[in-house]
Amino acid sequence: MIREVVARYAESIGDDCGVVPFGRASIVATTDPVPKPAASAIGGDDDLFWMGWLLVTINASDLAAAGAEPLGFMAALEMPALLESSELERLLSGIRGSCDAQGLAYLGGNLREAGTIAGVGTAIGVVREGPPLTRSGMREGDALLSIGNGGVFWRDALLILRQLGMPEKDESPVFRPLSCLAVMSKLREGGVVAAMDNSDGLLPTLEQLAEKNGCGIVLNLDALKVPGCEKLVGIDEARLWLGWGDWTVVGATRPESAEAVVELARSTGYSATVIGKCEGADPVVLLESQGKRVRAPRVESERFAADSWFSSGLDTYIETLLTVPLR
């Protein structure tokens, strides 16, 4: 749909943001709707604050992948006419809180009557010098990094679903996810050469990067560690990294720059982990563990696909995440 239909009409496709050159700078913009928040679907908390918060983060994460500095955010909101004004205020409070946390000015947007509550956000950022990051730019030998806390979302989600504990809502990505927007502009200047928002899950993200760059990717499962998993007995930590929900960014650096990029991220309070490398010209993703390699399975969030969780449901997605062969 994107390559064969949308490409005939849009100026550019295939990256996390649209780009408008503006002198020596570039204005970058993105737009995304908010799904049912995990705070409700998994955490059982229907407070509209979490919907507003997630709406901003979904869009902020795309700006992060472009290495942009945040500028502003707008939201087009729909809601029933009989919605209590206090509920609207909770929604707006979530939007404003998330904007404040991620450096975006909340610039308003649009309100209209509808049968259900829904929202579409638009986030705008700027790259002041040089080109924005895109999904292209990887080459043979590059190191792959994950910026942000991989695996934490599904650690917390499974603790909730298995009734093993409720995480602090203000600290858990199940309720209050944060993008990497505050650090990615520094990493763009510090050595990241290509990047992609990891909103759909690590394996789909790596598959798209491999295809876009015409190179193979080797993912090191042994590097995928998650703290605080003691109660999740029998679950391979690496699996927790593979699903959506962490709002990390996957970036590529030249091998000689990887250590410096990791240290730069950590110096600004963000986790960064070398998770693999670019290897070979066949655009496939391989999983490596203890010297053994296997082809990555399909754990998909692709729209309009029969095996996507959008079609098969959350329970089926979780079952796939926990049982699909990896090693």
Tell me the pLDDT of the chain (327 aa) as tens digits. Answer: 888 898 899 887 888 999 999 999 999 999 999 999 999 999 999 999 999 999 999 999 999 999 999 999 999 999 999 999 999 999 999 999 999 999 999 999 999 999 999 999 999 999 999 999 999 999 999 999 999 999 999 999 999 999 999 999 999 999 999 999 999 999 999 999 999 999 899 999 999 999 999 999 999 999 999 999 999 999 999 999 999 999 999 999 999 999 999 999 999 999 999 999 999 999 999 999 999 999 999 887 777 777 666 667 889 999 999 999 998
Q: What are phi and psi of 293, to 5 degrees?
A: -120, 140
DSSP SS3 for 92: helix
| Residue 112, Cβ density class (10 Å: 0-12 exposed, 13-18 middle, ≥19 buried) | exposed
The model carries a pTM of: 0.94
CA-based max dimension of the chain: 60
8 Å CB contact between 194 and 261: no
Place of tokens 């928040």: 37
Alpha helices by DSSP H, listed for 75-201, are 85-102, 152-161, 181-190
Number of Cβ within 10 Å of residue 85's Cβ equals 7
Structural domains in the chain, sorted by start: 6-127 (3.30.1330.10), 143-323 (3.90.650.10)
> What sign for the dihedral angle of Cα 274, 294, 142, 66?
negative
